[in-house]
Structure 1
Amino acid sequence: MTQNLNCKMLAALCFVVLLVGCSTSKEEMLPTGEHTMLELWNGADGEGGTTRQSAVARDTLRRPLTDDEHRKGTQDDRSYSRSQESEISQQFSRLPNPDMVMYLYPHLAGGNTPVPGYSTVFPFYSQTQYAMPGERTEAL
């Protein structure tokens, strides 16, 4: 009996909490403000002024860039743009593919044509492999 009473009290308490949570009005939770969307779009801010006035005030507080900052800014811009230099530099560097040197001893070709001894060079791997950008290719 006591357990049934506790369960009913808990359910009533939850119901009251839900009702109290719903008693707040939308206008109380989210006030509309003084400006309409059109006024905000046309430049009015929430503090009674205009955004143009705020921008002018911010600009007066900003300091001019130094020469080093200007140079660094132009260097940063160049690093993101394509140029002949960046096109030539390899974004995907080639992975090491050691050259194998093979010496061919003097022999007869076609039965009676003598061929002098010579060395030939060929890559160890049959295909050229490329590293992903940022992947280390040098020895640790």
Structure 2
Amino acid sequence: MHSAKHRLVLPLTLTLTLLLAGCSTSKDEMLPPGDSTMLELWNDGASATHATGESRTTLRRPVTDSERVISQQTRESYSRTQENEIQQTFPRLPNPDMVMYVFPHLADGNTPVPGYSTVLPFYS
């Protein structure tokens, strides 16, 4: 029984070792070192960003009068003004009030509380 385990474990271990060794690669094979320094890479990235900014400025054009009017109308239609607020664009839905009367009682056993009325809406 003991030798059967050894016969099984040894080939399994060798097979796994060979499989894992076959899949391994070195750092230089996966990512070969380039000829550029970090400063050169940084400067190349900055020049690409600058070129993108330059191309954007060449594509820009002035806003026409009709576009300006449309933009102003759009802004005004979504803006809150005093007139809009007074008109109450979204009126309150009917929600009846329930008036409750709380009878005089003693709070915490000793403190007298006078009777009072309170108003609660039926729907929250």
Q: TM-score range by the shorter chain?
A: 0.3 to 0.5
TM-score (normalizing by structure 2):
0.41
Higher RCO structure, 1 or 2 (CA under 8 Å, sep 6+): 1
